[in-house]
Amino acid sequence: MNKSGFYILLCVLLSNASIFAEQWNDDFSNPQQSKLEWVGDWSQFAINRNNQLQSQSSDATESVLLHASTCAINAEWQFWTRISGACSAYNLLRYYIALCEEDIHADGYFVQIGGTNKNITLYEQKSNSITKLIEHPARTKILDTDASYVSIRVKRDDKGVLHLYSLIEGIDSTWIEEGFAFVPMLTSQYSAVYVKNTKTRGYDFYIDDIYVSGEQQHESLSQDEVEASVQLLSENISPNHDGWEDEVCIQYFVPNADYLATCAVYTSNGLLVKQIHQQTAIQQAGTICWNGTTDQGDIAEIGIYILYIELLNKKTHDTLRQRMVVSLTL
């Protein structure tokens, strides 16, 4: 790739308001420029001969680099990372898509690669505490390997909905949506790379091909403006209790608390297999999962099934209906 670390700031007038659109990228082909744009613990990072940012520490430590970035809405963040060795709670990488101050402990949002569940997650960081916003229920321990090569993409639309996507080399053939979450207000002054490592793992973390674009956000958004939506998080289920695809899940989002959910599983011939919900009151965001069992408690036969979901607004009677095809194997 054509590696450059450039920073473009455009001022665009929209609807008589001043909106700042920003785009920048760094693929570390110009180490001198990268070291000017990123501030922080350069003694614990290096740009290697492959033009990748690599952790470089002989001790157990936490290392941080920050880059000015105000992207928040109509925004996209992308990067590639490699972790040589197993992930754990003490060996992980975070990419902060937003920090409101030049401080890794400030309020913000980050994607975590690794951690206790050895997966890919997105967190909100606020008042010295973190809250998990996105975690794919079927991809726990997905990074339980000796080495992980992961591409990450995060998008936030003009309604304030964050979408997290990943593509893991050797596992995924295309981008997988890890999930989505509504964030009413996102303020950013910096992006950041954060590495936490044990003493023997100080050289095992790499990041490259960072791309960021978007606009500043000036006003908080209302959840009522977001349409009801559902997303099938996996098309496959293998309920053999091996910890991999033991259930299939639908992630949903509704704009208010007035919705009821109906969800059922049918054979391809239309026979009812499992009634999961029948006009059940639901929270504004969550997941509905099928564990592969029938209404009688038996494991369903191998084959193709239809997962039906209906979200009904009990006040306006607005209804979202979708049928999704899933494949069951053992």
Sign of CA dihedral 231, 240, 122, 171: negative
The conformational region for residue 89 under phi > 0 = left, psi -120 to 50 = alpha, else beta, is alpha
- Is the domain of 151 the same as that of 273? no
pLDDT at residue 288 in the model: 95
Is 41 a member of any domain?
yes
C-alpha–C-alpha distance, residues 291 and 284, integer Å: 22
- How many CB atoms within 10 Å of residue 133? 18
Residue 97's closest CA among 232, 13, 217, 250?
217
- Residue 122 located in a structural domain: yes
Question: Are 304 and 327 in contact, with CB atoms under 8 Å apart?
Answer: yes
> Does 134 share its domain with 162?
yes
Same domain flag for 172 and 199: yes
Asked whether residue 134 falls in the same domain as residue 64, the answer is: yes
> Are 135 and 109 a contacting pair, CB within 8 Å?
no
- Compute CA distances 156 → 64, 76, 109, 321, whole Å: 24, 7, 12, 24
The amino acid occupying position 201 is: R
| CATH value at residue 203 | 2.60.120.560
pLDDT for residue 8: 41
pLDDT of residue 191: 98
Residue where a domain stops, chosen among 215, 246, 261: 215
Assess if residue 69 is contained within a domain: yes
Domain-embedded: residue 222:
no
Same domain for 251 and 196: no
The one-digit pLDDT tens for each residue of the chain (330 residues) are 444 444 444 333 333 333 568 999 999 999 999 999 999 999 999 999 999 999 999 999 999 999 999 999 999 999 999 999 999 999 999 999 999 999 999 999 999 999 999 999 999 999 889 999 999 888 888 898 888 899 999 999 998 999 999 999 998 989 999 999 999 999 999 999 999 999 999 999 999 999 999 999 989 988 777 889 999 988 999 999 887 789 999 999 999 889 999 999 999 999 999 999 999 999 888 899 999 999 999 999 999 999 999 999 999 999 999 999 999 998
Residue 208 sits in the same domain as residue 232: no
pLDDT for the residue 20: 65
Q: What is the CATH number of the domain that holds 299?
A: 2.60.40.4070
**Is the same domain home to 232 and 196?**
no
* Domain shared by 13 and 102, yes or no: yes
How many other CB atoms are found less than 10 A from the CB of residue 216?
A: 18
> Does residue 1 lie in a domain region?
no
If asked whether residues 12 and 133 sit together in one domain, one would say yes
Establish if 110 belongs to a structural domain: yes
| Owning domain of residue 240 | 227-328
Residue 243, C-beta contacts closer than 8 angstroms, at least 6 positions apart: 140, 141
**pLDDT for the residue numbered 138:** 81
Residues 179, 247 within the same domain: no
Same domain, 131 and 273: no
Residue 58 lies in a domain: yes
Within a domain: 163:
yes
pTM for this prediction? 0.82
- Residue that is last in its domain, among 215, 244, 275: 215
The last residue of one of the domains, among 215, 249, 268, is 215
Question: What pLDDT does residue 157 have?
Answer: 93
Same domain, 182 and 318: no
Domain count, the chain: 2
